[in-house]
Structure 1
Amino acid sequence: MAADKNKIAAMSYKRGSEALGKENWDFAIEMFSQAVTLCPDNLLYRQVLRGAEYRKYGNNKKGARMAGVKLAGTRNRIRKARKAKDWLLVSQEVEKGLQINPWDAGLNASLGEACRHLEYDNIAVYAYERTIEANKEDKANLTELAHVLEEMGEYKRAIICWTQIQKIDPENKEARSKIMGLEATKVSDRGGYEHAENTQDVRTSAYSDFVGKPGGPGAADGPGMSEEADLLRAIKKEPEKHAHYLKVADLYRKENRLEDAAEMLQKGLDASGGDPAIREQLEDVELQQMRQNMSLAHEASKKSDDPERAKKQIKLLNRELVQREIEILSARTERYPQDAKLKYQLAMRHMRFKNWTAAIPLLQQASSDSRMEGEVLCALGDCFLKDGKKSLAKRQFSKAVEQLNVQDHKELFKKAHYILGCLLQKEGNMEDAEEHFQEILSLDYEYKDTLQKLEEIQSQTAEEE
């Protein structure tokens, strides 16, 4: 049942994306809404839905005409659902309201609340952020956002929220306490995982040290004494030159100072007015940080006193990573439509979510690149097989075995022959199935149950004779 929902949602997402390209906003919203209803925990579906709603209203920040009047009934239904603690219904009613005014702060706050109860934490964060965009001094929702981020282990972002709260309310004792506590936790619990090793001290960016503090790198080192200091001087002297920021960020990445690299690239992005090359570097660092956090989470889980909680945290981090990869790769495939490798990478991420209908057209386009044709055909065969289209799967794997070099792709070579052998055996084509199984055994005599399958075929053939 869940697989069917995912499949239908993926198809709706595909149709919505096509409608978006044709500026058919209403149909795009209808399709994305269907995807959200079927997969309410999918952040990407909510994001593209909101994007379509924004574009429908020309980013006017107020939605439909007389939106307040039109939303009266929706708000009443939300209140009733909240009273009944039916959080899924709350989120569904909120989405109906956001189709009238996607910028409505109250609706976005209600979505954040509902998603917290449903444990859709990444969507809760997204909703609260939209709420705060409408009112940057919304202390109540900044507090809610800070709590969600802390629960997710996003300590740096939580500190930013508490700092904003403290600016709004300087006497707020909770904000002062949280900032101090989270700074300490951030140092001892890097990435948000208990007992994680290889922690790094929390520090301000080297750029801020250099330009803002006497005795910083620029004061301590003369020219040529420190590569970092020289590069930071270059930025101070020529802040308009984008290459300086990229060089400093590259240095930080080599030293595994990813937070510093991200901050430097953000400064470069701001200084350049949004240079795409810098934006891509910043995205790469963001993904690198997320993968590093995944690695730390796996290590910490081995020592955790609560393995179920650790497992849930790893699953959440993995899902967020893949969703972010999909967002980034989707944008890059639009920017570089001839890059087959990007399409292949994006398709592989869609496959992680079992989104076969989104992956298949990307793989079909990527198969035109002869350098990776065998790999792409295997992935395409996998999609068709998982989607229940066995004849199409067999065709892809048959083409793949002709392209795969056993020295370079030994495991894929065995996998393609194994699947072909199994499909042919089920069809009753024992002769061809036997050939595929023999190809595998000539390389790996213990591969899965290949030997057993070959013996079954040979036994059956002997009986028939």
Structure 2
Amino acid sequence: MAERTPSEQLENAKVFFTRAEEVAVTGNYDYAIEMYLDGIRRAPDALKEGHLALRQVALLRIKKGGKKPGMLDKIKRSSKQKDPIEELINQEWLFAHDPDNVGYAEGFLKAATAAGVKNTAAWVADMVFEANISASKPSFATFMMLKESYRMAGDFEKAIRALHYAMKAKPSDLQLADELKNLSAEHAMKKGKYDQEGDFRQSIQNREGQEKLQAQNAVVKTDDYKVIALKAARETAEKNPTFTTISKLADALAEAGTEDSFNEALSILEAKFAQTQEFAYKRHSNELKIKNLQRLVRASRSAVEENPTDVQARTRYDKQMSELLKSELEHFKTCVEQYPTDGKMKYEYGIRLMRVKRFDDAIPMLQDAQKDPKYRFSAMDKMGLCFFYKGWFSDAADIFRQAIESYEIKDDATAKDLRYNLARSLEEQGQTEQALELYRKLAQLDFGYKDVRQRVDKLRAGSKPEQPTS
């Protein structure tokens, strides 16, 4: 049997991920973790749908008082497994039940690297790296492990960075300087493509093969490869007409770049929807239309930015933006009707309702979206903004405070947005000292964030006492 592609693996795992989301909402975090791991077993490199979602549940579980692994758990899960995927599952189970344990994170990283799940390994490596450099006594061994993990993943810049930190941790180790030279040389060879038998001529001869490999991985998509990909997708769909193969054919037609091929993609999907009444076909058709409108909007926006006085360009941009927003509103409204328990759809629909200033309609959508752990805090932030734009500043501030108190991470984009929006709400209520304090902390964290510098200057200037007259 042929090995499943990542998209086929994900399709096979979705039922477990969906079930995990459903039980997580009820607070049954242990069962949710098991469901996520069952899904990951089928799609080991499903980063967003699997590992990231599991991480969010793990953090919620530990905050609610979930128990860490006991001695028997450690013995059971620490025994080396022959199957690298099962080893990955065991290590992630331990980390999920003690998500602040750097040792478990390192075990998870080693297992992910050994299993060849590169996206997941890169994510875990970044997490371990940040934890190690933030530690009171950073571990030399951890930096060396990270160096090797990054090197195996082909990320030489991060591998060199990890080695630099290792050298700081152990400056007396003179062999590290030689290792840095070797790693830098390997990076240069990979970057210049001279590592094929160490010969420039060999590098030139291998260029065609490298370009073909890149095209197959969707990194470089020349017109020739698009034709080949389209032909292969059409043949596969004709032999085995499933939703997966037909949607891939539609994608290949849409990417061909002609109006005829794009219209054919829509026709195929809409015909299958009419034949089967499976909403997935209609949804994919709508997604292709939206993607095309987004491309047109980007082009129109660029034209306006290049020539701001061009009235026709501005009119075209405004019209296309209006069409895009209308299409997205209709699409996500239908998706919410078809998938009434899907938090993502309610979140996306709520955002579109916000954009047309239908705040009273957006708020219930965003309230429901909070039941999905993946969208909980983003939905709270957007819901708070709805109250803010309605002029309900006190209610908005309450929502932002609740989100800030519950949100585990203190310095990512969501955390900054929540604090900024709370400060705005306080400022509108005249609570300028509290607002200024929040703006100051934000500026210390990210000096270039939005207009926080100007707001600090404005509030400081406004709060200065008048100079005494002589």
TM-score above 0.5, yes or no:
no
Higher relative contact order (CA 8 A, sep 6+): 1
